[in-house]
Structures are given as C-alpha cells and as structure tokens.
C-alpha cells in the first residue's frame, strides 16, 4: 500500500457540509455544498481536470467498454462514462466519504446505474494497490497527481486493472513540473504500459497510454 502512511486528511471533510446534487451537462453528481477551500482540498468537489476529461471522452468510443476510475472523488468522469454507454463502471478512491458521494451520484443518474444498461459500483483503492477489478478496457483519472513521484503508484494501479491493449487516460489541470513527463514515461516503461502520448494540451493536459500486449512486451524485452 504505497500511500497508507500519509495523513488521511480528506476524511475530516466528510461531515463538513451536507452533499448536494449538481449537474455537468446531462450527468448528475453529488458533491460537498461547501464551495470554498474545504471542498477543494478533498475529492468532494468537481475539479477542472475532470471537466476537461469528460469533454474529451465525449469524442471517444466509450460505449460497451468496461471502465475504472482511479481517485474518483465525486465520480464525475466515471458517471459520464456510464452516460456514454459504458457497460460497467467501477469508481475507486481511498476516501470512504468520496465513495458515499459516488453512490449518491449513481442513484441520481438512474436509470444509468440499472443492470439493464450498465453496472456502476464503488470500491476503496489507494494508489499503488492492485485493483480487484480486472480486464478493463479503459482506466481514467483526473487531477490525482500532485507531484512527479506520484506517477508510479497511479500507473501501477492502472496497469493492474487494464486488459492487454486497454487504455489509460490521465488528466492534470495544474503544473506538475518539468520532471513529470520523464517520471510518467519511466513509470509506464516499468509497469507494462506503452509510452504516454499527450493527446490534449491546454490548461489541462491529458495523456494516453495502453497496456502493452504480451507479444509487444516480449519484443521490447528482447530489444
């Protein structure tokens, strides 16, 4: 468990303010009703990276895919994937309070969470831990990396969840420093992911990489 010794700061916000339902386009999500610094120091608010990643996903083929969101916070990205037709969505975070918000958001988006269209579930997962949801077509994460050293544990959890050839999309709305691209590349190399490609570059940046197929990994090893 990579980050188990970090102070569990986010949990103090659980009872700070009652949650409320808000909308991002046609997607409902539950968040803290506190719009100040309290919510923005936790995953209980909508962060800019999530908004940009949702907009990007609307241009991508999501229907029918099995999706996992890392560090989901209030789960906007995963819920948007459900609205786009993903067949199964797993929302993960280490904060139980964030997962409760996700459950409320899933209920607010009914019938998105009905078994008839897709299945939305929540699970506790810290960065660096292996996901017990396997063979995902797509893993998404937004504004979960705050410094270059977090690239490896985030990529480790993503790699553990992906099927061969599956995609990982990572969005960041703030400056991660000059060393981050190299740290991300090295993490991908070490964890069986292809070299990350920058697919969206504005104030928010989005990188895409894939889980290397066994054949490609063997070729890379021999080379």
pLDDT digits (tens, 9 = 90+) for 37-48: 555 567 899 999
Q: At what angle do helices 48-57 and 76-83 cross, to 10 degrees?
A: 20
Q: What is the DSSP letter of 87?
A: S
User: Residues of the chain whose pLDDT is less than 50?
Assistant: 1-13, 15, 114-116, 215-223
Residue 50 CA to residue 182 CA, distance in Å, equals 23
List, for residues 142-163, the tens digit of each pLDDT value.
Answer: 999 999 999 999 999 999 999 9
CA neighbor of 89 nearest in space, from 155, 46, 29, 151: 29
CA neighbor of 101 nearest in space, from 128, 70, 136, 76: 76
Give the pTM.
Answer: 0.88
């Amino acid at each position: 468990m990579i980050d188990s010794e970090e102070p569990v700061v986010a949990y103090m916000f659980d009872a700070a303010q009652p949650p409320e339902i808000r909308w991002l386009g046609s997607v409902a999500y539950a968040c803290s009703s506190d719009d100040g610094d309290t919510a923005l120091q936790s995953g209980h608010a909508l962060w800019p990276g999530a908004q940009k990643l949702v907009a990007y996903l609307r241009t991508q083929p999501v229907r029918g895919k099995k999706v996992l969101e890392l560090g989901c916070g209030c789960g906007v990205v995963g819920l948007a994937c459900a609205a786009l037709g993903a067949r199964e969505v797993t929302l993960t975070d280490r904060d139980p309070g964030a997962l409760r918000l996700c459950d409320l958001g899933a209920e607010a988006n009914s019938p998105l969470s009905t078994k008839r269209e897709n299945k939305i579930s929540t699970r506790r997962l810290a960065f660096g831990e292996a996901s017990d949801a396997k063979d995902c077509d797509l893993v998404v994460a937004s504004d979960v990396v705050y410094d270059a050293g977090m690239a490896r544990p985030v990529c480790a959890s993503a790699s553990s969840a992906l099927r061969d050839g599956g995609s990982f999309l990572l969005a960041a709305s703030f400056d991660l420093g000059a060393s981050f691209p190299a740290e991300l590349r090295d993490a991908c190399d070490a964890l069986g992911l292809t070299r990350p490609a920058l697919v969206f570059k504005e104030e928010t940046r989005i990188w895409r990489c894939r889980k290397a197929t066994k054949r490609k990994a063997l070729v890379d090893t021999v080379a």
